[in-house]
Amino acid sequence: MKLSVSSTAIWKQIPSDIDVIIGESAELKCALDNLSPALLPTWYDASTNPATAVSEGEIVFPTCPTCSITGTHSNGEYHLTINPVSLNDEGTWRCTVLDASPQSQDAQLTVLVPASIITSPSDQTVTEGTNTVPLQCAATGKPNAITYTWKKGSSDISRGGRYSLNGGSLTISNIVREDDGIYICYASNGVGQHAISDSATVTVNYPPTITTSPSDQAATEYTDQVTLQCTATTGKPTTITYTWKKGSAYIIIGGRYSLNSGSLTISNIVKEDDGIYTCYASNGIGQPDIASATVTVYYPPTITTLPSDETVTEGSISLTLQCTATDGKPATSLHIHGGKTMVISL
């Protein structure tokens, strides 16, 4: 009697769980010794019910157009390669050999997706002192635990103080002019390269500041001119408009009034030019910056009543000589000459 011994395939490489980035290649190992030519490895997509056969031996079925069988078949290697991997490939894959023990070996294929930006921040224009500026940023990926970071220009922004993060969105509080700049959001879930949002420009408008103020000046009536200096640092926007007031009345430039940058020149001084002058520097943002100076105009008095000739008798009790004048600046004094000089301050 002849004893018949059957040959059993022996596993030497089994598929193992694998994480693969979408679009890349995945290889699931399957190799056995003592393979029977009639019972070559069959690969299944075991995520379906029932499982879907994708290959048998070297033959790949149309059910998996991105699949191929690799390895040295003479060494019993029938590895499954999927290239490129898509999200639909995620799941359980099974290598089956009917005369092996066990007959099947499973592996889990997990498809990873790098973070990608789905909401980018938008440009914003605000005024210095605004309470908050929100810059939106949102991303998706797999895994979905996403870490967000922000940069202003080339500098990292640290959370805390005036900077807060809600999800991926950055909020800047108590806006100052130094917040003006370009902001970019970065998102990462640890897979591949981090995602970069479109840049957003934050424009912070602020008013100009007067750096050279007019100084008090004194002039004599009919002197050539008086110049009241006024210059300001540039705000944003950079265009500065200068206006002047005398008291509460706006000064119209022209005639005796000329403007050079912000400085006001008054020509052919008259007594009516005496008063308080205020410079206003504005770029349309907030309240204009102001600075004031006093112009004092000196002018002589004018006699309006002259004394008349008088004849009196020696020993008369009194003599009155009339003399009146309009006030000048400084205060007017009357001088009566007749042998002696008498000074009468009015």
Per this entry, what is the length of the chain?
Answer: 346
- What are the residue ranges in the chain where pLDDT is below 50? 1-5, 339-346
What is the reported pLDDT for 336? Answer: 55
Q: Where do the domains of the chain lie, and which CATH numbers do they carry?
A: 10-113 (2.60.40.10), 120-205 (2.60.40.10), 209-298 (2.60.40.10), 302-345 (no CATH)
What is the reported pLDDT for 333? Answer: 60
What is the reported pLDDT for 303? Answer: 80
What is the reported pLDDT for 319? Answer: 59
Task: Identify the CA nearest to 336 among candidates 327, 326, 325.
Answer: 325
Tally of CB atoms within 10 A around 35: 23
Residues 77-89 pLDDT 10s: 999 999 999 999 9
- pTM of the full structure: 0.77
- Collect contacts of 31-34 with beta carbons under 8 A, ≥24 apart: 31/71, 31/75, 31/76, 31/77, 31/78, 31/79, 32/76, 32/97, 32/100, 33/9, 33/76, 34/7, 34/8, 34/9, 34/10, 34/76
Tally of CB atoms within 10 A around 68: 15
What is the distance between the alpha carbons of residues 58 and 96, in angstroms, rounded to a whole number?
A: 14
What is the reported pLDDT for 320? Answer: 66
What is the reported pLDDT for 334? Answer: 53
140-152: string of b/e by CB count within 10 Å (b at 16+)?
ebbeeebebbbbb
Residues 222-279 pLDDT 10s: 887 999 999 999 999 999 999 999 999 999 999 999 999 999 999 999 999 999 999 9
